[in-house]
């Protein structure tokens, strides 16, 4: 257990937007094979935390280690930090497959082109090999028939499955899911969750922000409850869900109706 590789390690992470401090010192470690679900109310900072991992938001303080490598930061001259070495950041980012709430597929490329974009144009893979791999991944998420269709023609669930195939195509050290089902119609949520659950079962390293509590309980190896920019509770799903220690978590988990 202890000798598993560390895929993502955050230490003392802080993030401030103007006068508002969204993250107030968060540390977490994802070993390879971990499935960490971050839960919490709106405004708790969970999306910001996820976006700080690949520097879509630059942390105001703290350290980010990806695959054991420290992301170099330097002062940005306005009291904050930015990535010191764009080449390093891009190299590390390329191996983090991110799945967005609003899909963010590139609308001018077909489903297949979306999937091979990063492998070919960032990782520099051979195009034919990338296509073969992409077809395998599209088949896996059940979208092979849609390979030459533009994203605009897909349903929300199909878009998100295409986005997952795109994330898998970079052979990620860790996958980041930012509320992957929040923008979906209720009847489409299931098809996306079942794909993610499959990936969790085969031992993919994942960090996901989600509102689907039942799903988090079933697939996660660890639950993190974020509140007001700090980790309020952390542990195995059975512990966190069945024996919430804090009042806030109990209130959060209580049925709303």
Partner 1 sequence: MDFLNITDWSLLALNSPGWGGALLWGAVKTVQIALGGYIIGQIIGVCGAMGKVYGPPWLKELLAIYTTLIRAVPELILILILFYAGTAALNTLAAKIGMGPIDVNGALAGVLVISTVQGAYSTEVIRAAIQSIPSGCHEAAAAYGMSKWTTFKRVTLPLLVPRALPGMSNLWVIATKETALLSVVGFSELALVAKQAAGSTKYYMTFFLAACAIYLTITLISRVFFNQVEARFSRGMVKHK
Contact set with partner 1 (CB under 8 A): 54-56, 86-87, 89-96, 98, 100, 102-110, 117-118, 121-122, 150-153, 166, 170, 176
Between 120 and 195, whose beta carbon lies closer to partner 1?
Answer: 120
165-179 burial code (b ≥16 CB/10 A, e <16): bbbbbbebbbbbbbb
What's the min distance (Å) between Cβ of 127 and partner 1? 14
* Residue closer to partner 1, measured from CB, 105 or 200: 105
Least distance CB 102 / partner 1 (angstroms): 6
Distance between CA atoms of residues 245 and 122, nearest Å: 45
Task: State in angstroms the smallest separation of the CB of 196 from partner 1.
Answer: 17
Q: At what angle do helices 156-168 and 111-121 cross, to 10 degrees?
A: 20
Evaluate the CA torsion angle 243, 246, 249, 255 in order and state its sign: positive
Q: How far is the CB of 242 from partner 1 (least distance, A)?
A: 35
Whole-angstrom distance, CA of residue 163 vs CA of residue 141: 10
Nearer to partner 1, 66 or 199 (CB): 66
115 vs 249, beta carbon nearer partner 1: 115
C-beta of 105 vs 231, nearer to partner 1:
105
Compare residues 119 and 237 and give the one whose CB is closer to partner 1.
119
**Shortest approach of partner 1 to residue 29 CB, angstroms?**
21
**How far is it, in rounded angstroms, from Cα 243 to Cα 250?**
9
Question: HSE of 58 in the Cβ direction (CA atoms, 13 Å)?
Answer: 16
Q: At closest approach, how far in Å is the CB of 53 from partner 1?
A: 10
């Amino acid at each position: 257990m202890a000798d598993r590789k560390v895929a993502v390690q955050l230490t003392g992470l802080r993030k401030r937007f103007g006068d508002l401090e969204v993250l107030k010192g968060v540390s977490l470690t994802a070993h390879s094979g971990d499935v960490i679900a971050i839960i919490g109310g709106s405004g708790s900072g969970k999306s910001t935390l996820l976006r700080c991992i690949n520097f879509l938001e630059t942390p105001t303080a703290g350290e980010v280690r990806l695959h054991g490598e420290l992301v170099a930061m330097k002062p940005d001259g306005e009291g904050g930090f930015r990535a010191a070495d764009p080449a390093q950041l891009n190299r590390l980012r390329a191996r983090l497959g991110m799945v967005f709430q609003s899909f963010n597929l590139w609308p001018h490329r077909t489903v297949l082109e979306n999937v091979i974009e990063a492998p070919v144009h960032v990782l520099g893979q051979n195009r034919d090999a990338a296509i073969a791999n992409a077809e395998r991944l599209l088949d896996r998420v059940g979208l092979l028939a849609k390979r030459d269709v533009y994203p605009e023609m897909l349903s929300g669930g199909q878009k998100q499955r295409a986005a997952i195939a795109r994330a898998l195509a970079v052979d990620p050290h860790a996958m980041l899911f930012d509320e992957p089902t929040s923008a979906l119609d209720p009847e489409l949520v299931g098809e996306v969750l079942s794909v993610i659950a499959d990936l969790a079962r085969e031992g993919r390293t994942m960090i996901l922000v989600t509102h689907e509590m039942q799903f988090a309980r079933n697939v996660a190896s660890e639950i993190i409850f974020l509140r007001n920019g700090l980790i309020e509770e952390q542990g195995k799903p059975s512990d966190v869900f069945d024996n919430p220690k804090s009042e806030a978590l109990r209130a959060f988990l209580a049925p709303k109706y």
